[in-house]
Amino acid sequence: MGFKPDDPNDKPKWVELKTARKPESHKDHEIHCKKLLKFWAQSFLIGCPTIIIGYRDRQGKLYELEELETQKIPSMVKNSPYCKWNANACLGATSAILDFLKANIQEGQVWAIRREPGQRELKVLSAPGFGSETGKIVKESFRKWREREKDDSSPNLS
C-alpha cells in the first residue's frame, strides 16, 4: 500500500480494515484492549489515519462497524478500566529495542533476534546458513520486482 499525494500536506486517504468480536464480558474487554494495541501500533507505524473495525457475531457475520481515528486510540484506552497499555511506553520500548539493534548488529550479515520465554532480555545471534549477504534471504524474483518498482518511480532526467 502506498500514498503519494499531489500536495505534501494532504493526509493519507486509506483506512485499515479489521474485524473483531464485540466485547461482552470483562475477559472479552481485556482481549479487545490487546487487539486495540495491535491495531493502533500497525496503523500508527505506517501513518494510516483511520481504522474501521467490523464487529462480527460468533458465526462470523458482520453486524456493526466502528470507525476510529488512529491518533485518538491511546487517549481512548487511557480512560478504559480494561486496558493496561500506554502508547508512550510502547513507543519508548520500541525506540530502546531499535537502539539496541543498531548498536549490536553489523551491516552485511544476517541476524536472528530471540527472546526466550520468561526472559526479559533480547539475544542477537548471527544466523549462519543464509550466507554473508542479506540478499540471499529473499527470492530473486522478489528482488527483481522491487528493483523494477524502484526504477519505475525514479524521475526521468533525459
- Residue-range domain boundaries for the chain: 13-86, 106-153
**H-run or E-run covering 67:** strand 62-69
Q: What is the mean pLDDT of residues 59-80?
A: 93
The answer to pTM > 0.85 is no
**Helix 87-104 / helix 26-46 crossing angle, nearest 10 deg:** 50
Grade residue 156 by pLDDT with cuts at 50, 70 and 90. very low
Angle subtended at Cα 39 by Cα 53 and Cα 16, rounded to the nearest 5 degrees: 55
Q: What is the mean pLDDT of residues 109-135?
A: 77
**Residue 131 or residue 25, greater confidence:** 25
